[in-house]
Amino acid sequence: MSASPIDVCRKFMKLMEPLNYDEALKLVSDKCEYINPAPFGTVIGPAGVRAVLEPFFAPTTENEFKVLRESTVGNIVFLERLDRHLFGDKWVELPVTGVYEVNDGQITYWRDYFDVATIMSQMPQP
């Protein structure tokens, strides 16, 4: 029996904190549509998700995905999160709402809603 949709999403977020891409992306369907606000756009499947996340997280030394509220309707999961990323000695915080669809134990749709300006204004400058 597959894990519940909320359990799949919780597990995915926990695996992403230490950037365990290999295990986390096993929970992402080959046909998963992952959507972020512009300029990031839409990618498909585990390779697409990794191509977006890996370069962003590369300079981080620690990550936290604090789930503030969660809700499910059937196989749809909503996670209100506070994503925290440590860049050098500076924590960058981003309020995010993620919408996921889970089928047969894998994420088949993932859309994150956040304000790009919020994170860009906090990023360390070279």
- Spatial distance between the Cα atoms of 35 and 69, rounded to a whole number of angstroms: 20
State the pTM of this model: 0.92
**pLDDT tens, residue by residue, 8-62:** 999 999 999 999 999 999 999 999 999 998 878 899 999 999 999 999 899 999 9
Domain boundaries of the chain, sorted by first residue: 5-120
DSSP 90-115: EEEEEEEEEEEEEETTEEEEEEEE--
CATH classification code of 5-120: 3.10.450.50
User: What sign results for the dihedral spanned by CA atoms 44, 50, 56, 60?
Assistant: positive
